[in-house]
Structure 1
Amino acid sequence: MGDNSNDLCETLALQLAEVEMLASMYANDGELAMDDPTAVPDIQSFIDGNSEYSQLHSRIRFTLKLHVGDASKNELEVTCNLSHEYPRTVPDIFLRCTQLSRIEHQRLCEKLALYIAELDRDEICLGSIMQWLQEHTEDHIKVSQTEVAHHKPTNTQQPRTENIFCRMWIYSHHIYNKVKRKDILEYAHDLQLTGFCVPGKPGMVVIEGLNQNVEDFWQRIRRMTWKRIVMKEKQDQEIADGKTVDDYRKFEGFEEKWFEPRQVKGRRGAHMDRGMLFQYLDEHGFGYIFPIYFEVSGKQADDPVSD
C-alpha cells in the first residue's frame, strides 16, 4: 500500500491513543465498553506489520456512559463508531438518553453535528465531543422535563413514538462490504430490531420494532457510503393497550438471507433471484410489497455517494 499504508497506520495509531486516553478518563466500572474487544489488538497487529490490511476487519466502536449535570440519574449513552480513516473523517456518534424527549434528542443531535462539522479534521476530537455533550445535554433534559410537567393530554393527541410499532423496507443498489454487513447486524441487535438483510445486488434490509429504534437504525446506516440507498416503505401501527411490540413482529431475530441461485451464492456481482425473494415475502404475508419494492419510487437518503 506504500504511502497509503503509512497514512493508515498513522490514523489507526491516533485512534488507539485516543481510546487509551478515554479509558483513563472514564475508568469507572461500566463507563466505557468496547463493542469488539479484539479490535484494539487486531489494529495494533496491523500497525506493527504483523498482518495485512486485507485481514483487518475490526473497527473501533464503543459506548461511553456520561453523567451530565448535577443529577447523577441523568445518564447519556454515547456510541462512537470510527472508520479506519478517522480522524481524517468524522466519527459516527449516536446518542441515547431516557431523560430526553424525542424533539430535544433531535435538537441535541443537530447541534452536535454542527459542532463536529466545525472541528479541524486530521485531529482527534472524541474528548472534545464528550466535554461538549457534558456541557450542553443538561439544558435539553431540563426542557424535556418542563414539557412533561406542562403536558396536558387531549383527545387529539398524537400517539407517542414509544407506543408505535414500525416496519421499514430499505433498498440498496448492492450490499457486499463485510464491515457494513457486520454493522447492520450489530445495529439491529443493539436496537432490539427483528427482520433480515439480503446481501448482494440489489441489497435489501427489512427491520421492525419500536418506531424510535427503527428511525435510529435508518439514520445510522444512511450515514454510511452507498451508491444508492432508499427507504421504500414505512409501516406504522399504534401498539394497542395490553399488547407489546413483540405481538406485532413478523420475523424472529435478525439475520442475513441469501436469495441467489446455489451455484453463484455469495459471488460478488451476482444478482438476487427475485423469484426466491417473492416466495419468502409471500410466506410471511408480504407478497404485496414486491412490486412496491422494485419500483423506482421511494425515499432516498441525502447525498448518496459511490461505495
Structure 2
Amino acid sequence: MSCSDPRESEIELLKSMFQPGEELIFEDTEGLDSWMAENQRTIGFVLKLREELELTVQLPPGYPSGNSTNPVLPIVTIRLLPSSKPLGVNERLLSSRFNKWLEEVARTGEPVVCSAIEWIQSELATQQRRHEQQKSTDPAIEQLPESADSPHLNAGDAEKSIVCLWIVSHHIRSPIKRRLILEWAAELNLTGCCMPGRPGLVIAEGEAHKADEYWSRLRNLQWKHIQLRDREVIGKEGYRCRRFPDGFEELFLAHQSRFQWLNQRGVSSDQFKLVFGIPGRLPQGAEVHKRHRRAQR
C-alpha cells in the first residue's frame, strides 16, 4: 500500500517493526484509518520497546510539518516499568535528556518517532553500562536490597504522611490515559478513584512521596488542561486514615451523583467546593433520609 501522507507512512513503518495489539497499541483502532486519511485528529498509541520500558506517543494533526520554520512537535512520554529497576536507569535523567533531544530534533519538521526509538534504546544501554561499572567499583551498591523502597521493610513507614490528591482535568476519555491512571495507582500503592468524563476527576491517596510521583507522571501526559486542586495531608496511620481503603477504581457517575458517592466516604461539601468551585449537594431524597436518620439518634 502506498502512503502519501508522511504521518501515515511512519505509522505503517512502526506496524512493520512492532506487533500491533501487543507491542503497538492504538487508542482507537476502529477509527485509525479514517483519522489518518483526514489528518485532522491526534493519533495516540503506546509503544512497548522492551519489557522494561514503554512510550506513550501523541501525533497531532499536521505532524510532521516538513517545515523547519513551522514544526509540529509530537508528544512522547517515557515510562519505565517496575521490571527496569535492576537496570539502574534514572527515569528522570532519561526523560530530561530525551525531551531536550526531541525538542531539538523535532524542529526540523521531519518524522522523528523511529529516530526517538533508536535514541532511547541507545541511551538506555549507556545508562545500564554506567550502572554496571558503578556496581563493580562500589560494592555497597550491590548490597542494597532490591526492595529498599518497599513500605514493608521499615516499621517507621506506618508513620509516613498520607496525602490525598484532588486532580481535575478538562476531560478524561482516552483509553490509554485511563489505563495509565489505574496502572500507576496500583504500582504506587495508591487508593482512590478515577471518574472519566468532562470534567474528569482523579482522587489518589497514599504515602506522600508516592502520591507526588503519581502526579508528576500524570501531568507529563498530554492534556488540554489538568490541575492539582488540592493536596490534603490526612494522617499518618496507613490505610486506617484513608477515605478509600479498598483500592483504586474507575467510576462512571453522573455529575449529580459524584458528590453523593464522595459524601458517603467522608468528603464534605466544602471540600467538593474547593475542587469544583460549587458546593456539593445531595439529592433531595438523600437529604430527607439523612435528616430522618439523625432525628432517630
TM-score by length of 1: 0.59
Per the TM alignment, residue 119 of structure 1 is displaced from its structure 2 partner at its CA by 1.0
**8 Å contact from structure 2 (residues 77, 220) kept in 1:** no
Aligned to 1:253: 249
> Contact 1:197–1:255 (CA<8 Å) still a contact in 2?
yes
Q: Distance between the aligned counterparts of 2:10 and 2:234, measured in 1?
A: 41
Tell me what 1:137 maps to.
Answer: 124
What's 1:108 paired with?
A: 94
Report SS of the residue matched to 1:60. Answer: strand
Equivalent residue number for residue 17 of structure 1 = 9
For residue 130 of structure 1, give the secondary structure of its aligned residue in structure 2. helix
The Cα RMSD (Å) is 4.4
With over 3 angstroms needed to count, the CA separation of the structure-2 counterparts of 1:166 and 1:140, relative to structure 1, is farther
Give how far 1:169 is off.
Answer: 1.5
Equivalent residue of 1:82, what SS? Answer: strand
Aligned-partner Cα distance in 2 for 1:161–1:294: 35
1:8-87 correspondence to structure 2 within 5 Å:
13-26=5-18, 32-36=23-27, 39=29, 42-48=31-37, 59-66=43-50, 75-85=51-61, 86-87=63-64
Unaligned runs of 5+ in 2: 65-71, 187-191, 278-297
Q: Which amino acid aligns with 1:141?
A: Q
Give the CA deviation at 1:115. Answer: 0.7
- Quote the residue 1:120 is aligned against: 106
Distance (Å, rounded) in 2 between the aligned partners of 1:161 and 1:27: 34
Shift of 1:106: 0.9
- Equivalences for 1:1-307 in 2 at 5 Å? 13-26=5-18, 32-36=23-27, 39=29, 42-48=31-37, 59-66=43-50, 75-85=51-61, 86-87=63-64, 88-97=72-81, 98-100=83-85, 104-121=90-107, 122-144=109-131, 146=134, 149-151=139-141, 160=149, 167-172=164-169, 174-175=170-171, 178-179=173-174, 182-193=175-186, 195-197=193-195, 199-200=197-198, 203-208=200-205, 215-216=213-214, 218-227=216-225, 229-233=227-231, 249-251=245-247, 253-260=249-256, 277-287=258-268, 289-290=271-272, 293=275
Instruction: Give the direction of change, closer, same or farther, for the CA distance of 1:28–1:225 in structure 2 (3 Å limit).
Output: closer
Paired residue total: 240
Amino acid at match of 2:255: F
Deviation at 1:83, TM superposition (A): 3.6
Q: For 1:63-107, what per-residue CA distance to the aligned partner results, in whole angstroms no more than 9, with x for missing partners?
A: 2223xxxxxxxx432223224323322222222143348981111
Report the Cα distance in structure 2 between the residues aligned to 1:23 and 1:235, rounded to whole angstroms: 46
CA distance, structure 2, for counterparts of residue 236 and residue 107 of structure 1: 32
Measured against aligned partners, the alpha-carbon deviations of 1:26-52 in whole angstroms (never above 9, x if no partner) come to 46995x23244x53x623234557xx9
Percentage identity across paired residues of the two chains: 13
Q: Which has the higher helix share?
A: 2
What's the secondary structure of 1:284's corresponding residue?
coil
Partner Cα separation in structure 2 for residue 207 and residue 134 of structure 1: 32
Superposed CA offset, 1:136-156 (max 9, x none): 112323455647952477xxx
119 and 231 in structure 1: CA distance in 2 versus 1, 3 angstrom threshold: farther
Q: Give the SS at the match of 2:266.
A: coil
8 Å contact kept, 1:63–1:79? yes
Q: Which residue of 1 aligns with 2:284?
A: none
Structure having the higher Rg: 2
Segments of 5+ residues of structure 1 without an aligned counterpart are 1-8, 67-74, 154-158, 261-275, 296-307
The change in CA–CA distance for 1:77 and 1:191 in structure 2 (over 3 A counts) is same
- Residue 168 of structure 2 aligns with an amino acid whose one-letter code is Y
Give the C-alpha shift of residue 109 in structure 1. 0.8
What TM-score, normalized by structure 2, do the two folds share?
0.60
Q: 1:117, CA displacement in angstroms?
A: 0.9
Question: What's the secondary structure of 1:186's corresponding residue?
Answer: helix
